[in-house]
Amino acid sequence: MKLVVEDICKSFGEKQVLKNIHYTFEQGKIYGLLGRNGAGKTTFFNCLNKDIPVEQGKFQIGEESLREVTIEDIGYVLSTPQVPEFLTGREFLKFFVDINKDKIKDLKSLDAYFDFMQIAPEDRDKLLKDYSHGMKNKMQMLINIIANPNILLLDEPLTSLDVVVAEEMKQMLRQIKKDHIIIFSTHIMDLALSLCDEIVVLSNGELQDVHKDSIDEKELKENIMTILKGEKDYAK
């Protein structure tokens, strides 16, 4: 399965944020979408998620034959988790599973899902309002994983987590990547390099590949910095 981004453009007033973007993402890889603050990473996600319209271009998904991406194809994990804080973790998970049970493949018990996400038994019946930021983030991630989307968009999900939770989340993403197209947005270079199979840099409204395997880490970081600074003489 692949996600084909074809000629995507998006502007806000006179500012063109995305400029004729072309790219192909493949299943089984974690893509690190690097960019400076304000580069347009979230805009790219919101266009793909159909939260905002594009001026031109299209997103298509498939194997040999392609079709238009639909909202059902996408799971979107935000940097600031949004969960119903008046419910317990178990109530929230049960509600989600109950309303989606006809769509969920390989339905498991609630505790099996909690175990997978490494949420401790003593925390499962606490109100979500009493969860830490990291635990809320885990619940948000869990809901998206259960939905089993073709495309998983992660918008700075690890930035504010403690080191233990962040490492647990990274291990979980490596575990599930074979079944998804995962695009991981961040402005932290070392995080992208440690987690992601491919690095894509968004700078000046354009996406550029940086090939991890062909050069050493020092040269790789230098190439990424060259793109992030907006210099035009970078050669892929």
Q: What is the pLDDT of residue 66?
A: 96
The domains located in the chain, with CATH, are 2-32+39-83+150-228 (3.40.50.300)
pLDDT beyond 70 at 225: yes
Number of H helices and E strands in the chain, helices first, is 7, 10
3 state SS of 29: coil
Q: What is the pLDDT of residue 78?
A: 86
32-44 pLDDT, tens digit each = 999 888 889 999 9
Q: What does pTM read for this prediction?
A: 0.88
pLDDT beyond 90 at 166: no
51-99 pLDDT, tens digit each = 999 999 999 999 989 999 999 999 999 888 889 999 999 999 999 999 9
d(CA 189, CA 131): 29
For the ranges 125-129, 198-202, 207-211, 220-224, the lowest mean pLDDT is seen at 220-224
Q: What share of the chain has pLDDT > 90, as a percent?
A: 65
